[in-house]
Amino acid sequence: MTKTDPNLLRTILLLSLCFALTGTTSSLTVSASPLVGFKISDNQALATLPLSFHLIGTMLAGIPASLLMKNVGRRYGFMIGTGIGAFGAASAAGSIIYSNFYLFCLSIFCLGILSGFAQLYRFAAADVATHEFKTKAVSLVMIGGIIAGFIGPTVASKAKDLIPNAEFAGSYLFVIIFHVLIVLILLGTRLPRPDDTEQKGKTRPLKEIFSQPKFLVAVLSAMAGYGVMAMVMTATPLAMTEESNHQFSDAAFVIQWHVVGMFAPAFFTGSLIHRYGPVPIIFTGILLNVLCIAINLAGTDVFNYWSSLILLGMGWNFMFVSGTTMVIETYSPGEKAIVQGVNDFLVFGTAAVSSLLAGVVQTSLGWRAVNLCSIPFLGVVVLALLWYIFTNTEKEGIFLLKQDSTA
């Protein structure tokens, strides 16, 4: 297949649509769950705990979802994850109606499991693409997040009062429709079944796989990108509505554009990585995150939140997509499931810790402290990249990364 093959493009676009519909639930949760937690929890410092449960669910689902798909295939694996998500959405609505904070956390955990399955859409796209098209295939799937970025907060805002005295319960009931659509789309999508090479192929010891410099840098980049993003993004609705006295509609607007910032670069991120290699793009992502933090420290007008969250999203995209591209180059077919699962476990584990920390820091120390706490994540990646460049110049240095990505 070539990159112009209509069957390939159709499959990737359908995967992108599934990712978009799944992401709608996630962006709804980002917008609404801190506010629901703030309202129905007895301890307001735990307002972001539901979002942490979401990320924990995403983290814990990574390895089981990968191993499940290794045996039953991508299509049925995604359907199982979607069913779990539909249950979580219905349960979330019920927990809001009855003001049960801990049931709400468990419900959001189920939605996190759905998100964990959905993260594998990008790897599914890489599976069906030719080698030279893998990076762009990953980027095309990520474009689906733009749709999610607008629909999720819109559903949160428009349907939040659908059920009287239960803000956002109607929003969670509404997204069940999207889960039904995902199943229908998957039924019409051609995805390859796992072959013998993938299921029974030779594998190296895990220590050997995970000690590869390229794998370490790839995972650290994605971990830091998600860690900073989760820290700042999770605290944003609380900071805007409780500390800066902006309206929820303003916070929803900012989150919408943040998600656009996360996924709109996917139109060109793949081409940039293909041309320059992943390392320079990771450095660019770090710079964008630094600019985000600087803008947040400079003021708390809606414009500050809006512009900084767009930059935050773009920085995440550059670091996460580049990390994914590098990870794809570190495993054989037989190692694919475990490497993908461990990668997502580490990435979303970092995001879960960051989101929980965001709530504690925001409610106790404020918005400025949230941003300052994000800086160490970026520092670690800068050090790792410098180590990678100067210790692997002959094999995988910065000038050869471009060749690696186009080999």
pLDDT per residue over 205-229, tens digit each? 878 888 888 999 999 999 999 999 9
The mean pLDDT of 72-96, rounded to a whole number, is 93
At 46 the three-state DSSP class reads: helix
Least confident of 73-82, 206-215, 305-314, 378-387: 206-215
List pLDDT tens digits, range 25-83: 888 887 788 888 888 888 877 887 888 888 789 888 988 998 898 888 889 999 999 99
How many other CB atoms are there within 10 angstroms of residue 301's CB atom? 11
pLDDT (0 to 100) of residue 403:
40
Q: Which helix (H) or strand (E) holds 22?
A: helix 6-40
Give the C-alpha distances (Å, rounded to integers) separating 311 from 26, 57, 263, 406.
20, 27, 11, 28
List pLDDT tens digits, range 167-199: 889 889 988 999 999 999 999 888 877 665 665
Residue of 391 and 251 predicted with greater confidence: 251
The tokens for 37 are: 């937690």
Q: Is 376 exposed, middle or buried (0-12, 13-18, 19+ CB in 10 A)?
A: exposed
- Residue among 21, 25, 49, 30 at smallest CA distance from 229: 30
Q: How confident is the model at residue 405 (pLDDT cuts 50, 70, 90)?
A: very low
Q: How confident is the model at residue 394 (pLDDT cuts 50, 70, 90)?
A: very low
The tokens for 213 are: 């410099």
Residue of 199 and 369 predicted with greater confidence: 369
Contacts of 303 (CB under 8 A, 6+ apart): none
- Alpha-carbon distance 183 to 175, whole Å? 13
Percentage above 70 pLDDT, the chain: 93
pLDDT (0 to 100) of residue 289:
97
The full set of domains in the chain, from first to last, is: 6-190+205-406 (1.20.1250.20)
pLDDT (0 to 100) of residue 260:
84
Largest CA distance in the chain: 65
The mean pLDDT of 246-272, rounded to a whole number, is 85
Question: Across 9-23, 41-55, 140-154, 325-339, which has the greatest mean pLDDT?
Answer: 9-23
The answer to whether 289 touches 311, Cβ cutoff 8 Å, is: yes
- Alpha-carbon distance 335 to 209, whole Å? 9
Residue of 10 and 315 predicted with greater confidence: 315
Contacts of 13 (CB under 8 A, 6+ apart): 140
**pTM of this structure:** 0.76
The mean pLDDT of 112-139, rounded to a whole number, is 84
- Residue among 101, 97, 85, 84 at smallest CA distance from 33: 101
The answer to whether 3 touches 25, Cβ cutoff 8 Å, is: no
The answer to whether 104 touches 69, Cβ cutoff 8 Å, is: no
pLDDT (0 to 100) of residue 366:
92
Least confident of 31-35, 91-95, 324-328: 31-35
CA 29 vs. chain centroid, Å, equals 13
How many other CB atoms are there within 10 angstroms of residue 64's CB atom? 15
Q: How confident is the model at residue 386 (pLDDT cuts 50, 70, 90)?
A: very high
- Residue among 330, 335, 317, 232 at smallest CA distance from 273: 317
pLDDT (0 to 100) of residue 5:
72
Kindly give the interhelix angle for 248-263 and 302-328, rounded to the nearest 10 degrees.
Answer: 30
pLDDT (0 to 100) of residue 196:
59
The tokens for 12 are: 């990737």
- Alpha-carbon distance 169 to 164, whole Å? 9
**Mean pLDDT over the full length of the chain:** 85
pLDDT at 164 over 60: yes
List pLDDT tens digits, range 329-340: 887 777 878 888
- Alpha-carbon distance 333 to 340, whole Å? 11
Give the C-alpha distances (Å, rounded to integers) separating 290 from 160, 322, 371.
34, 18, 10
Residues in the chain, total: 407
First to last CA, the chain: 17
- Residue among 59, 85, 6 at smallest CA distance from 227: 59
Residue 366 DSSP label: -
Residue of 380 and 70 predicted with greater confidence: 380
The tokens for 19 are: 């990712």
